[in-house]
């Protein structure tokens, strides 16, 4: 049975709250979303038939600023998943120290089964339903699984039509020529590489030559791989939903691997790489494993077999609470999702800020600001973990909660 991400998120919050003498009113507020919105989305299909889809938007908390969080198009989307993801956003935005709160949205749909025009009508319907509760100073959606820059531009367009004024800052993750920010595409992967580098540096460990296996080769996994490889790590294994490959020498040309996958539909047959089982990826004998695909990738069963000493959580909620206990007992260091993948929302904030001030920043400037934010958050988490003798995840929650409490 699939672990319930909302229960995972709740367990993490309660555990961190225990070690703080937190005002019960604040804990009560953080334990539930401020507002949940469920919308019905009737859609006329291209063949004339009518189908009804369910859409969600959860506004978890806005103590520090407008709700902020992605929009997910996937068949597994349900209220509990969206609530969990919204809660994680509240802690992520506080931890990376940007003036946003936490939100999340999604539609229960397999977008690959819809035509481009059906997907556009569905998105526009969703935005019309949500228009009264979103806006640049209220709630700012962004991209997530299967909802990229084209969908974000549609959100901007439909919202602007509803309110009668062009409003680029209502959504982030837009295409570059439509108010998007330089560096957003690379941001989450690059941010993860900074977090890993900073934590290892604080432990006086060098990343050079460390072997890495990455589950998921989408936006996050592929950019992380590029930056780790550039920094001297040896990325030796990849998987996606269909295949997995291993190369003892390490993959040195990520662009060519990506081109190969695009052409052949999977990694299988890539020169000098050996096919491995998909479910082996996180239990390979490497130094660092990276779940960068979906939730609940590391269950208790997987955790027992993890041989790496570091787990870099690039996906949201990839480790179940039982798995976390096993990893802790086995001295595996988990760099938690709310730190490791917060580079995406950091650059989303930069995009919003550029839109609000009618500015365009250079990519080098975006990357410099991102590095500063990632290293500062990683330092705060590491220091707190040391001082309190807790895991990096508990420390990340503690840093975030202390910031929320001080507002």
- Binding interface with ligand NAD (CB under 6 A): 144-145, 188, 215-221, 239-241, 278, 292-294, 314-316, 341, 344
Instruction: Find the catalytic residue in 68, 92, 104, 210.
Output: 104
Give me the least distance between CB of 2 and ligand NAD, in Å please. 12
Q: Buried b vs exposed e over 244-277: b needs ≥16 C-beta within 10 Å?
A: bbbbeeebeebeebeebbeeeeebeebeebeebe
- When the beta carbons of 73 and 361 are compared against ligand NAD, the nearer one is 73
- When the beta carbons of 22 and 257 are compared against ligand NAD, the nearer one is 257
Give me the least distance between CB of 347 and ligand NAD, in Å please. 8
Give me the least distance between CB of 51 and ligand NAD, in Å please. 23
- When the beta carbons of 16 and 293 are compared against ligand NAD, the nearer one is 293
Q: Residue 213's Cα: distance from chain center in Å?
A: 18
- When the beta carbons of 179 and 221 are compared against ligand NAD, the nearer one is 221
CB 82 within 8 A of CB 56: yes
Cα 72 to Cα 58, 109, 180, 275: the distances in Å are 12, 9, 19, 31
Give me the least distance between CB of 310 and ligand NAD, in Å please. 18
The contacts of residue 96 (CB under 8 Å, 6+ apart) are 342, 345, 346, 373, 374, 377
Q: Residue 303's Cα: distance from chain center in Å?
A: 21
**Residue 104 is a catalytic residue:** yes
CB 298 within 8 A of CB 215: no
Give me the least distance between CB of 206 and ligand NAD, in Å please. 26
**Burial class of 28 by CB neighbour count within 10 A (0 to 12, 13 to 18, 19+):** exposed
- When the beta carbons of 125 and 240 are compared against ligand NAD, the nearer one is 240
Residue nearest to ligand NAD (CB): 218
In DSSP terms, 319 is beta-bridged to 298
User: Which residues are known to be catalytic?
Assistant: 104
């Amino acid at each position: 049975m699939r672990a319930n991400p909302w229960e995972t998120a709740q367990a993490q919050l309660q555990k961190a709250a225990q070690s703080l003498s937190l005002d019960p009113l604040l804990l009560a507020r953080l334990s539930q979303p401020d507002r949940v919105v469920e919308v019905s989305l009737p859609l006329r299909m291209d063949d004339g038939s009518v189908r009804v889809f369910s859409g969600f938007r959860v506004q978890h908390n806005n103590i520090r600023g407008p709700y902020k969080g992605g929009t997910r198009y996937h068949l597994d989307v349900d209220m509990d998943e969206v609530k969990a993801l919204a809660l994680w956003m509240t802690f992520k935005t506080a931890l990376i120290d940007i003036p946003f709160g936490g939100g999340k949205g999604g539609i229960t749909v397999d977008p690959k089964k819809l035509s481009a025009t059906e997907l556009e009508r569905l998105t526009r319907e969703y935005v019309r339903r949500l228009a009264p509760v979103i806006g640049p100073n209220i709630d700012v959606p962004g991209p997530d699984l299967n909802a990229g820059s084209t969908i974000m531009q549609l959100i901007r367009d439909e919202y602007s039509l509803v309110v009668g004024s062009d409003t680029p800052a209502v959504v982030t993750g837009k295409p570059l020529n439509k108010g998007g920010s330089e560096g957003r595409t690379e941001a989450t992967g690059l941010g993860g590489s900074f977090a890993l580098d900073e934590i290892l540096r604080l432990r006086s460990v060098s990343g050079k030559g460390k072997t890495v296996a990455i589950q998921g080769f989408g936006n996050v996994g592929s950019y992380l791989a590029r930056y780790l490889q550039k920094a001297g790590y040896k990325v030796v294994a990849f998987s996606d939903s269909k295949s997995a490959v291993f190369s003892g020498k390490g993959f040195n040309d990520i662009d060519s691997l990506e081109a190969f996958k695009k052409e052949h539909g999977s990694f299988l047959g890539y020169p000098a790489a050996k096919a491995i089982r998909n479910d082996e990826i996180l239990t390979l004998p490497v130094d660092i494993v990276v779940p960068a695909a979906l939730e609940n990738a590391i269950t208790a069963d997987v955790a027992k077999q993890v041989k790496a000493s570091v787990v870099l959580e690039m996906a949201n909620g990839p480790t179940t609470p039982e798995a976390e206990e096993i990893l802790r007992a086995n001295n595996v260091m988990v760099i938690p999702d709310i730190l490791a993948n917060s580079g995406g929302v950091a650059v989303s904030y930069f995009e919003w800020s550029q839109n609000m001030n009618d500015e365009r920043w250079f990519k080098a400037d975006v990357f410099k600001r991102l590095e500063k934010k990632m290293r500062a958050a990683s330092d705060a988490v590491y220091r707190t973990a040391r001082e309190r003798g807790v895991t990096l995840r508990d420390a990340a929650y503690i840093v975030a909660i202390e910031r929320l409490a001080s507002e």
